[in-house]
Amino acid sequence: MSRIVIVGANHAGTAAANAILDNYPQHQVTIFDQNSNISFLGCGMALWIGGQISKPDGLFYQTKEQFEAKGATVHMQTTVESIDYPKHMVHAVSDGGTRIDQPYDKLILATGSEPIIPPVPGMDLQNVQHVKLYQDARAVVDKLHDPSIRRVVVMGAGYIGVELAEAFKRNGREVTLVDMAPTCLAGNFDPEFCALMERNLADHGITLAFGERVLRLEGEGGKVASVVTDRGSHEADMVCVCVGFRPNTQMFRHVGFDMLPNGALLVDHHQETSKKGVYAAGDCSNTFNNALGGNPAYIALATNAVRSGIVAGHNAAGTPLESIGVQGSSGICIFDLKMVQTGLTRVKAEAAGHEVRVSDFKQVQKATFIEEPNPEVKIRVVYDAHSRVVLGAQMASTYDMSAGIHMFSLAIQEGITIDRLALLDVFFLPHFNQPYNYYTMAAYNAVLGK
């Protein structure tokens, strides 16, 4: 029997705990988390804020009681204050002041990430909201019952900012979306795709303030009243700050861990850190980006957290299991416009030193004789000009074509060339697709040099 301690019980910690509890009942598992809840699916909070789901209950998939029923000891609302690595001892204190000294044989760190707070004046004003935890989303939902909150400014036009802009608009608010970048979703899509989302947001009445740097927040009576940028001012009754996340690893600095420059714990393919017997998983650690040669990278996604948690759990329990790396696959759906991507954009591929080629193609989803709505799908495949290896892919449509991006994710993982996709065996049925569809047409055009 081993004593396995897990610090952090959101996606990575939950996955690690379940991997151990479900497969290795001989081990003693102890879990620490400073929150009052487990496994909150933050990706669903915009749906709750926007009224697309009526309550948050379904945004949790694990409970303290479920862990305890499997035999774990769970300390919620308990802060880990320090860890004595040579003595294999975790020192924690509960919210009631009870001190806990927990020995371990193996340790899994799953402390996640924390929101980046821009260093601008006014962040302490009332109704300046951050969105990460359930409590954050709950506070926003509760405040939106106040009819005086009419104008909402969202700072940050990445995935979360765009999703929240839609949510506040669905909630009946006047919404302004601010970002320093010249467009939205710039970290995930090429400009041609970002333009589709820009138009979609504007068409739904969201004011876009891109290319603007926030200088300060101004208030009246202690409440936020406006967001001042280098190009003007935007009135606001609420400001939602979502400019990014960073690893929550402050307590692990300067104690001997190897780290990425941003503070993420550096792990190997078994999720083991530079300290033997200490594993890390989820947003507090690196992944291995197959689109960048399998090198360590920081890609904070719940899907990556779950997979890394599974790997960490099995290895801590004694079964060797290796991560195969990731491609950073992700997607977004805003006012029915669906955009998905995997791997590198053209911009990122060029920045990584590739001589890049792209193959773009547009085609309606189903056979043209189908007498029902038949949306167009736009696709881009990014590949290296010399090796012709697929580096990335992006797709956009009002049709749910999202499953197709997984094929390109696998192609990147396995180092497949775009030429191999041109004559790929893809089934045809008019109800679903076209005889020679956009996956293969994009690749075929690349073969022909178009």
CATH fold of 117-243 reads FAD/NAD(P)-binding domain (3.50.50)
Q: Which residue, 37, 99, 110, is CA-closest to 67?
A: 37
User: How does pLDDT run across 44-61, given as a tens digit for each residue?
Assistant: 999 999 999 999 999 999
Q: Where in the chain is the domain with CATH 3.50.50.60?
A: 3-43+57-113+246-317, 117-243
**Residue 66 CB burial class (10 angstroms; 0-12, 13-18, ≥19):** middle
Q: How much is the pLDDT for 156?
A: 98
pLDDT above 90 covers what percent of the chain?
A: 98
Q: Residue 333 catalytic?
A: no
State both tokens at 430: 């008019």
93 contacts 76 by C-beta, under 8 angstroms: no
For the entire predicted model, the pTM comes to 0.95
100 contacts 93 by C-beta, under 8 angstroms: yes
User: How does pLDDT run across 303-360, given as a tens digit for each residue?
Assistant: 999 999 999 999 999 999 999 999 999 999 999 999 999 999 999 999 999 999 999 9
Domain at 3-43+57-113+246-317: CATH code: 3.50.50.60
Q: Report the b/e string of 12-38 with b at 16+ CB within 10 A.
A: bbbbbbbbbbeebeebebbbbbbbebb
CA-CA-CA-CA torsion sign (93, 96, 97, 102): negative
Q: Where in the chain is the domain with CATH 3.30.390.30?
A: 336-447
User: How does pLDDT run across 362-394, given as a tens digit for each residue?
Assistant: 999 999 999 999 999 999 999 999 999 999 999
Q: How much is the pLDDT for 450?
A: 79
Q: Residue 75 catalytic?
A: no
Angle at 335 between CA 207 and CA 236, to 5 degrees: 30
DSSP annotation string for 67-96: HHHTT-EEE-SEEEEEEETTTTEEEEEETT
Q: What is the arithmetic mean of pLDDT over 124-153?
A: 96
Q: What is the arithmetic mean of pLDDT over 67-95?
A: 97
Q: Is the pLDDT of residue 269 over 90?
A: yes
User: How does pLDDT run across 178-217, given as a tens digit for each residue?
Assistant: 999 999 999 999 999 999 999 999 999 999 999 999 999 9
Query: pLDDT grade, residue 1 (50/70/90)?
Result: confident
The residue annotated as part of the active site, out of 27, 43, 204, 234, is 43
Superfamily of structural domain 336-447? FAD/NAD-linked reductase, C-terminal dimerisation domain (3.30.390.30)
- Average pLDDT of the residues of the chain: 97
DSSP annotation string for 400-414: --GGGHHHHHHHHHT
Query: pLDDT grade, residue 110 (50/70/90)?
Result: very high
Angle at 300 between CA 298 and CA 306, to 5 degrees: 115
